[in-house]
Amino acid sequence: MDPVNFPSGGESSEAGEQIGSALADRDGVLRELSHHLTQAWASFDHPRPVEPAPAADLVERLSWALPADGSDPRTALGDAVQILEASISPSRPLFLAYVGSSGLEAGVLASALLAAYDANLATAAGAADLLDQQAVRWVAEFVGFPAAEGHFTSGGQTSNLTAILTAREQALPGAREDGLGGRRATVYCSAEAHHSISRAVEAAGIGRRSLRRVPIDAEHRMRADALAEAIARDRADGFTPVAVVATAGTTLTGAVDPLDAIAEVCEREGVWLHVDGAYGLPAAATSVARARFRGLDRADSATIDAHKWLGMQKSCSVVLVRRKGALRAAFGHEESYMLHDADSANPVDSTFEYSRPFRSLKVWLSMRVHGADQFRTWIEGTLAHAERFTEAVRADPSFELLHEPMLSTVCFRHVPEGMAESELDGHNARLAEVIQRDGRVYLAPAELDGHTCLRVCFVNYRTTSEDVELALEVIRELGELPNLGVTP
């Protein structure tokens, strides 16, 4: 191996000093950053008339090889901002694809602080641990889940995996040590549950073939009767049910599974109930949508993505568990480089992740700055947007509403007069592309009940009622262009 060359002599000691003060003009650079941020925030206040393409000279710089020498941070910052300006940002009010966010400003402040201090929440981190647990309690209280413990994670995928691994250890004690050892296990979720459940089941060694996709009803919700039948069938065949994953807000339509009826089955069968509320659970905090989540307090665990409807920056999810000790049973361990005294347990003894950033600071600061009521008002505002959008779609004969929305997601399609049914899928897929290219609205196509559709999801606090009207106007305008404005 080549020896490491440490700098020596006059020239290199200068290099050493440069490293020590890499940002020599800290105030100047921070002022520059602050200027960029205020510009960005101002531009997020309104939809953009177009999605700009990156300038040719910027694209050229993106082909440069690794620079051996440094350069002016202001110039590099300027390029970073230009790149972001030419990229898709869910912070913009008419980003309506997938499940977006808001890029809440208080979260940006916390993001800067947590990056600067770089606390590691894997080990005991001092006062940060107290704040972290306070933020977990706040999120649990906000959505109405009786959590005894919980953690911030890297996203819904990790929260769901954490819950499945925890449930596996409860149903099959010792599985983390011995593997399944020939024992056959099953997990249940609805036909429209998020793919992260499949991945979690794969990663837990249960095997995707043992994930039972329970049929849904006309409202796209898991059928509790079909769940009970599936569990009975599997038990008779010698399977051990590990967990039922109910979705509280499916990604496709925002359907909330009947939690109470599912909890009934789980309690009767002694099966762990996990609620994947990555997208929808924040709505349980509102008086208008709370009733849809009845039974949530009977679940064993729940996932909430703060980087979706709570407006936080990615990545920031929370996994909550009702019974204390279940996480430690699934993740506790002894390593010689980290002492695990019972009195000073490291958080890593109850998390799937090792090194963990101080994600909770974003939620904590935002809740401190805005308060829970403001969050409720924002969420109710987005629910009202979805309702307004739904009514406008219903009232316009050139559109067809494809389901009755439960939360803030609406699936619909454009049905030009005289167009044959067989042409509608292709037309809507092309229309989605044309809308994305136009840039005023960003949405993604989806497939619902065999139809290609347009799908919008309102979770951004920056979206106004006027923006909602504009979105539909743009979609209508582009849909009516002869041949969708594409020259053959």
Minimal distance, residue 195 CB to ligand PLP, in Å: 8
DSSP tag of 64: P
Among the listed residues 157, 240, 360, 452, the single contact to ligand PLP using CB under 6 A: 157
Phi-psi region of 286 (alpha: psi -120 to 50; beta: other; left: phi over 0): beta
Give the nearer residue to ligand PLP in terms of CB position, either 128 or 312.
Answer: 312
Minimal distance, residue 307 CB to ligand PLP, in Å: 6
8-27 positions binding ligand PLP, by CB under 6 A: none
Distance CA 113, CA 132 (A): 15
Minimal distance, residue 252 CB to ligand PLP, in Å: 9
Q: Where are the alpha helices (DSSP H) in 45-104?
A: 56-61, 73-85
Q: Using the rule CB under 6 A, give the single segment among 45-53, 143-151, 154-162, 466-474 that binds ligand PLP.
A: 154-162
Distance CA 83, CA 105 (A): 20
Asked if residue 305 binds ligand PLP (CB under 6 A), the reply is: yes
Closest C-alpha among 179, 41, 7, 188 to residue 109: 41
Q: Using the rule CB under 6 A, give the single segment among 59-67, 115-123, 274-282, 478-486 that binds ligand PLP.
A: 274-282
- With beta carbons less than 8 A apart as the criterion, state whether 37 and 45 touch: no
Among the listed residues 279, 293, 458, 461, the single contact to ligand PLP using CB under 6 A: 279
Q: Using the rule CB under 6 A, give the single segment among 38-46, 73-81, 149-157, 203-211 that binds ligand PLP.
A: 149-157
Distance CA 296, CA 217 (A): 20
Minimal distance, residue 79 CB to ligand PLP, in Å: 28
Among the listed residues 94, 139, 278, 432, the single contact to ligand PLP using CB under 6 A: 278
Q: Using the rule CB under 6 A, give the single segment among 15-23, 156-164, 345-353, 440-448 that binds ligand PLP.
A: 156-164
Phi-psi region of 301 (alpha: psi -120 to 50; beta: other; left: phi over 0): beta
Residue type, 60: E
Asked if residue 382 binds ligand PLP (CB under 6 A), the reply is: no
For every residue of 215-280, DSSP letters joined together read -B-TTS-B-HHHHHHHHHHHHHTT-EEEEEEEEBS-TTT--B--HHHHHHHHHHHT-EEEEE-TTT
Asked if residue 162 binds ligand PLP (CB under 6 A), the reply is: no
Minimal distance, residue 119 CB to ligand PLP, in Å: 22
Minimal distance, residue 249 CB to ligand PLP, in Å: 6
> How are beta strands 211-214 and 317-321 bridged, if at all?
unpaired
Phi-psi region of 219 (alpha: psi -120 to 50; beta: other; left: phi over 0): alpha
Minimal distance, residue 277 CB to ligand PLP, in Å: 7
Give the nearer residue to ligand PLP in terms of CB position, either 263 or 318.
Answer: 318
Asked if residue 240 binds ligand PLP (CB under 6 A), the reply is: no
Token pair listed for 431: 């229309």
CA angle 166, 141, 353 (to 5 degrees): 35
Asked if residue 251 binds ligand PLP (CB under 6 A), the reply is: yes
Number of residues that bind ligand PLP (CB under 6 A): 14
Strand partners for 37: none
Among the listed residues 132, 149, 169, 276, the single contact to ligand PLP using CB under 6 A: 276
> How are beta strands 317-321 and 149-153 bridged, if at all?
antiparallel
Give the nearer residue to ligand PLP in terms of CB position, either 392 or 410.
Answer: 410
On the question of a cis peptide bond just before residue 12, with omega within 30 degrees of 0, the verdict is: no
Q: Using the rule CB under 6 A, give the single segment among 150-158, 175-183, 225-233, 425-433 that binds ligand PLP.
A: 150-158
Asked if residue 194 binds ligand PLP (CB under 6 A), the reply is: yes
Q: Using the rule CB under 6 A, give the single segment among 12-20, 153-161, 287-295, 458-466 that binds ligand PLP.
A: 153-161
Asked if residue 247 binds ligand PLP (CB under 6 A), the reply is: yes
Asked if residue 155 binds ligand PLP (CB under 6 A), the reply is: yes
Helix (H) or strand (E) holding 485: none
Q: Using the rule CB under 6 A, give the single segment among 272-280, 293-301, 385-393, 407-415 that binds ligand PLP.
A: 272-280
Residue type, 168: R
Asked if residue 317 binds ligand PLP (CB under 6 A), the reply is: yes
CA dihedral 134, 136, 140, 143 (to 10 degrees): 110
**Collapsing DSSP states into helix, strand and coil, what is residue 456?**
strand
Give the nearer residue to ligand PLP in terms of CB position, either 240 or 366.
Answer: 366
Residue nearest to ligand PLP (CB): 156
Distance CA 153, CA 306 (A): 10
Backbone angles phi, psi at 80, to 5 degrees: -60, -45
Distance CA 440, CA 474 (A): 8
Token pair listed for 269: 């069968």
Asked if residue 356 binds ligand PLP (CB under 6 A), the reply is: no
Q: Tokens 């898991």 correspond to what residue? A: 222
Minimal distance, residue 287 CB to ligand PLP, in Å: 23
89-148 positions binding ligand PLP, by CB under 6 A: 99
Give the nearer residue to ligand PLP in terms of CB position, either 247 or 366.
Answer: 247
Residues that bind ligand PLP (CB under 6 A): 99, 155-157, 160, 194, 196, 247, 251, 276, 278-279, 305, 317
